[in-house]
Amino acid sequence: MDLQQIKYFLALAHELHFWKTAAKISITQSALSRQIQSLEAELGVQLFERNKRNVKLSPAGQFLREKWEVKLNELEFFHQHARQIQLGESGTIIIAHPDSISASIMPDMLSRISAALPKLKIELVQVKYEDQQEFLRNYKVDLLITRDINTSDDFRSEKIHTDHLAIVVPENHPFRDAKNITSEALNEQKFILPVKDEGSSYSDIIHQFFRSFNVVPDAYLHSEFGSAIIALVRKGLGIAVLPDSYRFHESTGIRFITMPFKTELFLNWRVDDQHPVLANVLKLILP
């Protein structure tokens, strides 16, 4: 059973049309037809119900389409990681990080890495909260920086930084410093908050912030991205609570008021990772 056949199957399962699929994957309809037949024969499973006119997935085909799609994807990343292992110091390392620290600790961290390992390519990505574990587990990223402590046994986790929370207000806002921040004052503000990820300690700490003031925030806007939130604050759509790190983005038209609430940053990686430079990179990053 050739992986190529499975890819042909997935393409056909998507198009449900031999000619169009054949064109799209650059083989002839005849070849495609026989590849599918041979796949069906080897599996002992009819994948498509087809007559001379129409093609549709059989129930078993439907099942395998779903499963094969994710497994092939996983295999792809394994192969990529194997190539990285082979490449050694001249490979690529993929780091997922929250937007908030793009301008604070990331630049310093990256320059330290690239100074010590000049041949290493670094790829930066941002990963949605709910996908983070899966991405690290399946080798889609090699290092994961989170604001949440990790729960899985497959990962190691170390605290690398502690941020403060800050109130972010437009430049012309009456709030000047921490003295202005009282329950009464907060109660009259409109807030732009991050979407609340269930179980994320980051949104926890923001709730804790409000609870400590005994305030239920009036929030009509939620956004996943800090930079978007900042843009909205600048436009006067409300004020926000964000990690102090955003201060280093040096946006104009807004003011940060640091509060005594802390939020921590964790570096996560796979235990027993085989990436040849990871150990070196960790040595550079960890305190």
Partner DNA sequence: ATCCATTAATGCAATATCGGAATTAGTTTA
Partner DNA sequence: TAAACTAATTCCGATATTGCATTAATGGAT
Residue closer to DNA, measured from CB, 55 or 231: 55
CB of 54 to DNA, least distance (A): 7
Q: Per CB under 8 A, does 63 bind a copy of itself?
A: yes
Per-residue b or e along 116-139, where b marks 16 or more CB atoms closer than 10 Å to that residue's CB: ebeebebeeeebebeebbebbebb
Query: Per-residue string for binding with a copy of itself, 26-55, x by CB under 8 A?
Result: -----------------xxxx---------
Least distance CB 45 / DNA (angstroms)? 14
| Minimal distance, residue 7 CB to DNA, in Å | 11
Tell the burial category of 101 from Cβ atoms under 10 Å away from its Cβ (0-12, 13-18, 19+).
buried
Give the helix/strand (H/E) hosting 270.
strand 254-270
Match 């650059």 to its residue by tokens: 26
Q: How far apart are CA 119 and CA 204, in angstroms?
A: 40
85 binds a copy of itself, rule: CB under 8 A = yes
Question: Which spans of this chain sit near DNA (rule: CB under 7 A)?
Answer: 2, 17-19, 26-31, 33-38, 50-55
Residue 36 binds: one of DNA, a copy of itself, none (C-beta under 5 to 8 A by kind): DNA
* Separation between Cα atoms, residue 264 and residue 166, nearest integer Å: 14
Q: Which of 75, 116, 125, 149 binds a copy of itself (CB under 8 A)?
A: 75
User: Is residue 71 close enough to count as binding a copy of itself by CB under 8 A?
Assistant: yes
Q: Which residue in the block uniquely carries the two structure tokens 């759509």?
A: 237
CA 5 distance to own-chain centroid: 31
Residue among 118, 280, 131, 145 nearest 202 (CA)? 145
Please report how close the Cβ of residue 128 comes to a copy of itself at its closest, in angstroms. 17
Cβ distance 224 to 195 under 8 Å? Answer: yes
Residue span binding a copy of itself (CB under 8 A) among the ranges 70-78, 160-168, 208-216, 238-246:
70-78
Indicate whether 119 belongs to the interface with a copy of itself (CB under 8 A). no
Residues of this chain that bind a copy of itself (CB under 8 A)? 1-4, 43-46, 58-64, 67-68, 71, 74-75, 78-79, 81-83, 85-86, 274, 276
